[in-house]
Amino acid sequence: MNIKFSILVLPLLVVSSYCSTIFSLSSEGSLSAPQDLISSRNGKFTAGFYSVGDNAYIFAIWFTKSLADGTNTIVWMANRNQPINGQKSHLSLFKSGNLVLIDANQINVWESGTQSSTSSVELRLLDNGNLVLVTYEGQRLWQSFDSPTDTLLPEQPLTKTSKLVSRRSLTNFSSGFYQLHFNEDNVLHLVFDGIEMTSVFWPSPWLIVWDAGRSTYNDSKTAVLDRFGNFTSSDRFGFQSADYGVELQRRFSLDVDGNLRLYSLDKLSNIWKVSWQLFPAACRIHGVCGLNSLCSYDPVSGRKCSCVPGYRMKNPKDWSYGCEPEFSISCNDTSSLDFIPLRHVEFYGYDIAYFRNKTLQECKDLCLKHCDCKGFEYKYVEGNGTYGCYPKTLLFNGYVQASWPDFVYLKVPKAQRARQEQYEGNLQCDDKKVMLDRAYRRKEHGGWMKPFIWLVVVAGVFEILCVLTYFIKTRKSSNETTQGYLHLSTRFKKFTYAELKKATSNFSEEIGRGGGGIVYKGKLSDDRVAAIKSLYGASYQGEAEFLAEVSTIGNVNHMNLIEIWGYCAEGKHRLLVYEYMECGSLSDNLNANNLDWEKRFEIALGTAKGLAYLHEECLEWVLHCDVKPQNILLDSNYKPKVADFGLSKIFNRGGLDHSNFSTIRGTRGYMAPEWVFKMPITSKVDVYSYGIVLLEMITGKSPEVCADGDSGDDDSMGLGLLVTWIREKMRENSERKSWIQQIVDPALNGKFDLEKMEILLELALQCSEEDRDARPTMCEVVDKMLHPENFELKLDMLM
Ligand SMILES: *[C@@H]1O[C@H](CO)[C@@H](O)[C@H](O)[C@H]1NC(C)=O
Ligand SMILES: *[C@@H]1O[C@H](CO)[C@@H](O)[C@H](O)[C@H]1NC(C)=O
Ligand SMILES: *[C@@H]1O[C@H](CO)[C@@H](O)[C@H](O)[C@H]1NC(C)=O
Ligand SMILES: *[C@@H]1O[C@H](CO)[C@@H](O)[C@H](O)[C@H]1NC(C)=O
Ligand SMILES: *[C@@H]1O[C@H](CO)[C@@H](O)[C@H](O)[C@H]1NC(C)=O
Ligand SMILES: *[C@@H]1O[C@H](CO)[C@@H](O)[C@H](O)[C@H]1NC(C)=O
């Protein structure tokens, strides 16, 4: 028997019962609900009965190891829409070769529909999570990989016959509204198939397939994620995960919210981290809030639904049903009707027609004339100086976006209008921040444990036996298991001041300063090494306010962003506990000349990814405001993680003007001109700072040093001196290669990839443009670095 396996499944044995785990099921065998399990040889996967409600089970495959929050991640389900009874139900492998899930009342809930001429068939769970039915000769009769539910595992292809279907909700595992599959045109697409309507929302419906970078040509219709994090599809869609190149436990899932995400399991913290996602802007996913409602971005929950004025939720428990009017409209008497303007709002689709060059009154009349018209969008047509009118029969896929300048006018009775002058979009997020303690609690599986409490007691005895038996033999693996449990209790915890004082030996080892606090190295009681930041002057901030902000930071999980483990808010003390990064900051490493060209490029890319994620890839919710080499930390593999984010005010993009920032933030040399010229602050300030960091990595020259010359001059604050120097070099030398050689950090000894260097230089110069509109967004930067072939190199034009 595989020893390692036994140790890994221990936690499961506790909640099922002992010694019912097998590696394969042979002909005429059966598994009884709820306790019998099949395990893969490597112990990574388990197939068995998973509780989804009171005495309700599905036959499923999940990752054996529980997450930090004690839940298990399901990767496949046989009977998601028809759960079975917890007693007397079983999965039977008949002599005929058919695998059947039989409910307590003897009804066949699910079957593989297979037949075998030879009598010996076996059900096995392979190491990659594939449950297979094989004959004695090794022929595969059936495999779970052919019928995915909402998740693909590495090397599990999506084919012309399979599709992913999201769950109904976080707590309801049955089929939901979102589907991913290949259509007749051989193109992978995402469909919202809701209660009242269906719409395709990816690739973008307004794009011709080819313009979306997809191909209809290849009819093999396969898409697959490889072991290293490269996803490729026969329609030319593809991406690499943020942590591409290493073999990790990954899963590709169509989530409840209709977004496609790739997750990697972080071994240390034992949580899934998003390493790629399709929609950075959650509100662009169709159907999120149902009919007659508006979706707005919420930094804590991702998004928030609300009814348009005059409407109420149809089903108070479920946004999928949308909203219904609180009034009735009589089309006979148009004089009793009026319109409420909704600002910053757009609804996608369902236009009666498009009318060019209309005045507002003309457009109102058009909508009044059409009984079906629920409202209209009135949009400025750029270039023509006219307005377009889009009357709508349905108000669907509505979202609020501060940058959206146009209005939607909602048709309502006059009485309603009198109650509501104008709707300003719901852009306030301060009033609904969640307290920290709740941020990580997942309620959905609470019920799972309950019926088993008594079992735990019984099984506990067995576990002690098992531990005694195996602990001696396999010290290492058992460590792994206990670690998982430790994290369960320690994840995102509130620390006491005394604890942190002890961890840092009375704050003795200072490892950094700035960004509003001093950072100390410390060792937590569970032996994790942490970076503990003591914030200056944060005590003016109430504990609730502090927690609200920390919870937002804590919700941001990305490979290239530093992970926060906890906080302390006690009296006047405000501390944050972060993961410790072995290799220190980018700044230290540049100074110590530790970084070769490859490392520098990877750091540039990773940092860009982290910032792009922070900006919610173009939604701009969390600004960093102090991007500099001191805030880019490197782990033991020199993978960068951006630190110190989220400390500048978390804000919504409509509400921010310069006055929201009481003091200028940022660091001399890296600060965008907007700060100096008191212009509105947008995510482009981070782009600017990133550009300067790139230039520093390329040239090895610090902009702070450059800025020293005119330290008395407050107006310039050393803006762009590094940029000026480079542009001068470009002008002096007509030959590209020669000036590049001149500006590149001599420490590289001329060892670099010229082509990539040109890309970095071009990006760096674009990012550090004085005019913020000329700077790209962080996601454009990432895109360019990953797919330079899609862009024309314009270095010469920048001179
Ligand atoms: C899950 O959703 C389905 C479909 O809406 C519904 O029929 C079922 O009752 C729900 N199950 C639970 C446990 O809420
Ligand atoms: C990803 O896979 C595709 C198809 O196998 C391949 O063409 C591409 O080069 C791979 N990308 C990377 C970064 O390995
Ligand atoms: C179609 O796509 C598959 C899978 O990506 C690939 O193996 C095959 O070579 C492609 N065929 C053509 C004609 O491009
Ligand atoms: C509207 O007018 C039609 C005929 O003019 C009449 O039959 C109908 O009852 C009226 N509807 C309402 C709601 O007043
Ligand atoms: C828009 O309409 C007005 C009045 O109908 C007309 O004078 C004007 O030329 C039109 N503009 C365009 C760009 O068609
Ligand atoms: C301007 O309006 C004319 C007709 O009114 C139309 O043909 C043209 O496409 C419009 N131009 C733009 C940029 O929308």
Overall average pLDDT of the 123-149 stretch: 94
Q: Do 371 and 418 reside in the same domain of the chain?
A: yes
Q: Do 338 and 269 reside in the same domain of the chain?
A: no
171-181 per-position pLDDT tens digit: 889 999 999 99
Q: Do 610 and 748 reside in the same domain of the chain?
A: yes
**Residue 624 belongs to domain with CATH number:** 1.10.510.10
Position 604 scores a pLDDT of: 95
Is the pLDDT score of 668 beyond 60?
yes
Position 742 scores a pLDDT of: 85
Do the Cβ atoms of 252 and 226 come closer than 8 Å? no
Q: Do 258 and 317 reside in the same domain of the chain?
A: no
Number of domain units in the chain: 5
Q: Do 744 and 683 reside in the same domain of the chain?
A: yes
Is the pLDDT score of 501 beyond 90?
yes
Spatial CB neighbours of 300, under 8 Å, sequence gap ≥ 6: 429, 432, 433, 434, 439, 551, 552, 555
- Is 416 within the bounds of a domain? yes
The closest-lying atom of ligand 2 relative to the alpha carbon of residue 244 is 13
- The verdict on the CB of residue 380 being under 6 Å from ligand 6 is no
- Is 5 within the bounds of a domain? no
**Residues paired with 85 in a beta bridge:** 56
Q: Do 143 and 164 reside in the same domain of the chain?
A: no
Binding-site residue ranges for ATP:
533
**Residues framing ligand 2 (Cβ under 6 A):** 230, 232, 240
Q: Which range has the top average pLDDT, 46-50, 565-569, 613-617?
A: 46-50
Overall average pLDDT of the 65-90 stretch: 92
Say how many CA atoms lie within 13 Å of 433 toward its Cβ: 21
Neighbour-count burial of 732, counting CB atoms closer than 10 A to its CB (0-12 exposed, 13-18 middle, 19+ buried):
exposed
- The verdict on the CB of residue 357 being under 6 Å from ligand 6 is yes
Catalytic (active site) residue 588: no
- Is 615 within the bounds of a domain? yes
Overall average pLDDT of the 52-72 stretch: 91
Q: Which of 215, 217, 219, 220 best tests ligand 3's pocket when mutated (most atoms within 8 Å of CB)?
A: 220
Taking the centre of ligand 1 as the mean of its atom positions, its distance from the CA of residue 131, in whole angstroms, is 26
Do the Cβ atoms of 543 and 550 come closer than 8 Å? no
Q: Do 95 and 217 reside in the same domain of the chain?
A: no
- Residue at token pair 């000349």: 593
Q: Do 141 and 157 reside in the same domain of the chain?
A: no
**DSSP notation for 310-352:** TEEESSTT-GGG-EEESS---SS-GGGEEEEEEETEEE-S-BS
Binding-site residue ranges:
533
Find the DSSP H helices in 491-635. Answer: 497-503, 543-554, 586-591, 597-614
Overall average pLDDT of the 549-577 stretch: 79
**Residues framing ligand 5 (Cβ under 6 A):** 357, 384, 386
Alpha-carbon distance 489 to 611, whole Å?
30
Is the pLDDT score of 799 beyond 80?
no
Is the pLDDT score of 474 beyond 60?
no
Tokens of 710: 């005119």
User: pLDDT band at residue 406, thresholds of 50, 70 and 90?
Assistant: confident
Alpha-carbon distance 587 to 604, whole Å?
13
Alpha-carbon distance 282 to 533, whole Å?
32
Q: Which of 158, 214, 234 best tests ligand 3's pocket when mutated (most atoms within 8 Å of CB)?
A: 234
Name the phi and psi angles at 194, rounded to 5. Answer: -95, -165
Q: Do 692 and 706 reside in the same domain of the chain?
A: yes
Q: Provide Rg for the chain, Cα atoms.
A: 29
Taking the centre of ligand 1 as the mean of its atom positions, its distance from the CA of residue 171, in whole angstroms, is 9
Taking the centre of ligand 2 as the mean of its atom positions, its distance from the CA of residue 248, in whole angstroms, is 17
- Is 2 within the bounds of a domain? no
Overall average pLDDT of the 517-533 stretch: 89
Give me the amino acid identity at 733. Answer: N
- Is 270 within the bounds of a domain? yes
Kindly report whether the global pTM for this prediction surpasses the value 0.75: no
Alpha-carbon distance 480 to 495, whole Å?
24
User: pLDDT band at residue 755, thresholds of 50, 70 and 90?
Assistant: confident
Out of 626, 644, 686, 745, pick the active-site residue. 626
**Residue 140 belongs to domain with CATH number:** 2.90.10.10
Is the pLDDT score of 772 beyond 70?
yes
Q: Do 406 and 535 reside in the same domain of the chain?
A: no
- Residue among 176, 319, 330 nearest 253 (CA): 176
Q: Do 398 and 304 reside in the same domain of the chain?
A: yes
- Is 575 within the bounds of a domain? yes
Taking the centre of ligand 5 as the mean of its atom positions, its distance from the CA of residue 383, in whole angstroms, is 13
Domain that holds residue 415: 293-426
Q: Which of 357, 359, 384 best tests ligand 6's pocket when mutated (most atoms within 8 Å of CB)?
A: 384
602-613 per-position pLDDT tens digit: 999 999 988 888
Alpha-carbon distance 659 to 12, whole Å?
55
- Is 411 within the bounds of a domain? yes
**DSSP notation for 660-695:** G-SS--S-TTT--HHHHTTPPP-THHHHHHHHHHHH
Taking the centre of ligand 2 as the mean of its atom positions, its distance from the CA of residue 229, in whole angstroms, is 10
The residue from 212, 247, 280 where one domain ends is 280
**Residue 421 belongs to domain with CATH number:** 3.50.4.10
- Is 470 within the bounds of a domain? no
The residue from 579, 609, 629 where one domain ends is 579
Alpha-carbon distance 669 to 720, whole Å?
7
Percent of residues, the chain, with pLDDT higher than 90: 32
Q: Do 170 and 120 reside in the same domain of the chain?
A: no
> What does pLDDT average to over the chain?
78
The residue from 579, 608, 635 where one domain ends is 579
Position 612 scores a pLDDT of: 84
